Amino acid sequence: MVTYNESVFIGHTVIALATISFIFKYRKVDFPSKIIGFLLCLTFLNERIADYCAHVFNNSIIVYGAFSPIQLLLISWYFNNSIRFFHKKNIGLKIGIPFCILGYVNYFFVQGPKVMNSYFLLTESILVVGMSMYAFYRMMLEDEGVELMKYPHFWFTSFFLLFWLGTFFIWGLYDFVIRQLHIDSDILRAVLLAMNVITYVGIAFIYLFYPKMNVSHEQ
């Protein structure tokens, strides 16, 4: 079984790989893809700070809890710009901004910064999965002969769906999974690591192969 330090190293490595791929292709990607790239940069920085706090203060939850509302806001902004219907009515921002505020209300006044913000993680997971499913729906409606397998936002959305479904079941329901289903935390960490590797390596490949993809598809 992979140790905690090994999983952290692998996780940071794949996030760094995706971030470097974005920076390398920055000038060639569209605006929604730049939003994801910016999110990658912040995610890598957040992971490094969290790792430092885990070693020095023996608590990284305070860092992850503070980052989650910003993460949701950026993901909502991405969908606001990648889904044409969302962009017309600014639906993504109408989702992201109020829930970002609610996230900090939960962080400071409801669950507190020193415990896992499971309420917000559940909410964030549901919102991202919902927006991802709606993005797929809009892609299916637009039958313009575009090959979805070569459409970068199809793949971004696919990896979001994979990652946030996993987040919902692993982190959002963490206490239930551990206490009621009696699943060992090492198994959950291994599953989470595999999910992270698939997601971030996949995103890295999207950026690396971006010039060969079709970015003209409108949802």
pLDDT at residue 43, rounded to an integer: 98
Mean pLDDT score of the chain: 90
Of 171, 154, 135, nearest to 214 by C-alpha is 154
pTM of the model: 0.92
Distance CA 204, CA 36 (A): 11
Residue 19, pLDDT above cutoff 80: yes
Ramachandran region of residue 116, left (φ > 0), alpha (ψ -120 to 50) or beta?
Answer: beta
Looking at 1.10.1060, 3.40.50, 1.20.1070, 3.30.300, the CATH number of the domain 4-212 comes to: 1.20.1070
Of 197, 196, 204, 206, nearest to 149 by C-alpha is 206
pLDDT at residue 144, rounded to an integer: 63
Domain ranges within the chain, ordered by starting residue: 4-212
